[in-house]
Chain A
Amino acid sequence: MSRLIYFDHAATTPLDKRVRQAMDQYLNGSYGNPSSMHWAGREAHAAVDEARTDVAALVGAQPGEIVFTGSGTEADNLALRGVLERAGGGDHLVVTAFEHPAIIETARYLETRGVEVTYLPVNADGVVHPETLAQALRSNTRLVSIMSANNVIGTIQPVAELAELAHRHGALFHTDAVQAAGKVPLDVSRTPIDLLSLSAHKIHGPKGVGALYVRTGVDLQPIVFGGGQERGLRSATENVPGLVGFGRAAHIARSEMGAETARLVGLREELFDGITATIPNAYFIGDRYRRLPGHLCLGFAGQEGAAVRLLLELDALGIAVSSGSACSANHAGEPSYALTAMGLDPIRARGSLRITLGRGNTEAEVTRFLEVLPPAVQSLQTVASHRGFAVRS
């Protein structure tokens, strides 16, 4: 097998060496509990504080507004349940139909607890239109949750407009920024975002660490009870090495964002041009430019049903890409609800290919991918004869 190529950074990212170096001290030598009064505790506490400052800076927050969690999913749960379980019932929640399962499943849970939920449709380009949100808002809308960038399609949402709209109607605004953070400028000091979810492992940090930005004044109900860590919002002894890694990853992402984003956009465009030139039945899903820098979502008309064969073929060649969301790959299931929400038919919604580039990817890898993808696609069965496929859904 030739050299391995990893093009699945929306699923997770490799740990940056600089992050690992920062974590080493807290994996090997410094082991204190940040809540302890003694020297070991103080050392750990200082490390967590520094990490909190770095994570806060990534999104323009104050350090005291960052609540560390065990994952982005937990941050999403805390945001939705924290707001709506604090309320007395009869409240209204608005989410989009293509949120991550961490939001969708929490919304469904809240429905069973008496919360009314509106699932907003998205337009054919994978963008939530502010007018659609305006129509859904009610006097009892307590919270609006719309992701900053979609994990399947890669499209970037007009978060500032949507947040302002929610605020004008007296609703809190939460955004799942797990995919966007470190790639798209986010500044909660200049945008009326009240709650924002982050995950370390999407920005070359460690797995098992997340954070929720909670704007000062927003009152949340905890969902984990215990010793009162994280201002009582997330009891549990802090994962100090993980948090140190998260802080370092956030610092690196912030300091390198502009140049790295531009580099990834360049590689993405090279992929786009190469695929367009060599695979005539390829079509791309989602807005052409309003998307995450290294993210392409595409299908091959007439061959969507064979997407699994393509994934297996690419895997055999050492190339890691994904079909839709990695979270749904373990069981036979339905078409991607994210793509269905955009109006794609279930065949196309089932058969998309997601290519997501990251920090370690190179032009040579893109070139190799463009060499192997066309014959791999050509070898797939087609469900019908090739006769000038439509290239748009």
Chain B
Amino acid sequence: MANVTEIELPGLDCGLCGFPSCDELAGRLADKPELLKRCIPLSADSLGVRSAPPTGESTGNARPFAAPVIDATGVACAPGGDCAGCAPAAAVQTETVKTPRVVVGGIGSGIERTWTDHLGREVDFVLDSFPEEVGPREQIIPHNPILTRELDIQVGEVLVGRPLGISCGCPVTHCGIVQSVDMKNCTMEWCVTGPLHPRQNGFKDIGYYSAQAYEGLIKARRIDVEIGRRYWFQPRMCMMQWRHSGLVNYMNHTDDGIQVRIEGLWIG
């Protein structure tokens, strides 16, 4: 590597190195040559600008680039008109290069294409939320069930907690809005939501809990679903995009999809 003090800095004075000017960075390089790696424009000459314009030149005056021309057939040609730019592209295509393709997760996107979860494991159906609700409906019970009474949990309140252990041990803290409370059994139903709800409305912390049942709609399925059978399924809004398994113990065919209740839940 050349002596860092002899390297010409880009002259952009962009500040990304932590110094307001290239001169100031240059002045520190003799003592701290490792600072050079902080010069991003120099590291790959690859910001949205190649180099600083000569002193006094307006940045808006240099116009060396022309947009590629699209001809009437829709074939793209490189500027210049000799089609030299098309040749490499054609070569890429004929070499059957495997195009990197990431199927981006998202509502209505990846799962039905592949019928696999984040880890590539097969799923039988996708569990969607009820359209009229704010998120997936679950029946839960705190690990210390008496909390339901001690915290005087009411319908409409926001809770946070983590599903621990048997029945969907998920590492992520969940938030939800209480839909119903069973003070006899200390269970409750909630709809899982995002963090804006506890931020806006305050919350009660139930620590750890177990998920006893999910309810929702099957709108997309790979196989027929029958009551009484255990299936692999993907909750649409699962934060991990991991498949779950469970026993379907209620089915009702509706216009929106097959309404199901699933108990005996496990992740994986």
Contacts and interface: CB of A to CB of B under 8 A. Distances in A.
Contacts of B160: 308-309, 312
A265 B48 contact: no
Contact of B14 (A137, A258, A347): A258
B92 A57 contact: no
Interface string A47-59: 0000000001101
Query: Which interface class (under 10, 10 to 19, 20 to 34, 35 or more) fits A?
Result: 35 or more
A266 interface: yes
B101 A156 contact: no
B120 to A, nearest CB: 13
Given A215-B67, A293-B16, A304-B171, A60 B59 contact: yes
Given A169-B85, A170-B85, A333-B194, A139 B62 contact: no
Contacts of B192: 332
A142 B68 CA distance: 9
A289 B37 contact: yes
Contacts of A148: 48
A161 B44 contact: yes
Interface in A141-197: 141-142, 148, 156, 158-161, 167-172, 175, 177, 180, 184-194
Q: In the complex, which of the residues A140, A262, A340, A341 has the most CB atoms of chain B within 10 Å of its own CB atom?
A: A262
Nearest to A158: B46
A334 B238 contact: yes
Contact of A308 (B86, B100, B118, B175): B175
A159 B46 contact: yes
B48 A140 contact: no
Contacts of B242: 346
Interface string A305-348: 11111011001000000010000111111110100110000110
Interface string A90-110: 110000010000001000100
Interface stretch (B70-78, B139-147, B179-187, B217-225): B70-78
A266 B16 CA distance: 10
Contacts of B60: 56-57, 60-62, 189
B102 interface: yes
B231 interface: no
B68 A262 contact: no
Contact of A265 (B15, B41, B74, B104): B15
Given A262-B18, A329-B195, A138 B92 contact: yes
A260 interface: yes
A91 B75 CA distance: 9
Nearest to A87: B74
A137 B92 contact: yes
B49 interface: yes
A189 B195 contact: no
Interface string A252-292: 00000111111111100100000000000000000001100
Nearest 6 pairs between A and B by C-beta? A261-B15, A158-B46, A170-B76, A262-B15, A186-B48, A187-B49
Interface of A: 56-57, 59-62, 87-88, 90-91, 97, 104, 108, 118-121, 132, 134-142, 148, 156, 158-161, 167-172, 175, 177, 180, 184-194, 215-219, 257-266, 269, 289-290, 293, 304-309, 311-312, 315, 323, 328-335, 337, 340-341, 346-347, 350-351, 381, 383
Given A118-B99, A138-B93, A290-B40, 9 more contacts: A156-B16, A185-B41, A308-B195, A329-B195, A332-B174, A332-B192, A332-B237, A334-B241, A350-B239
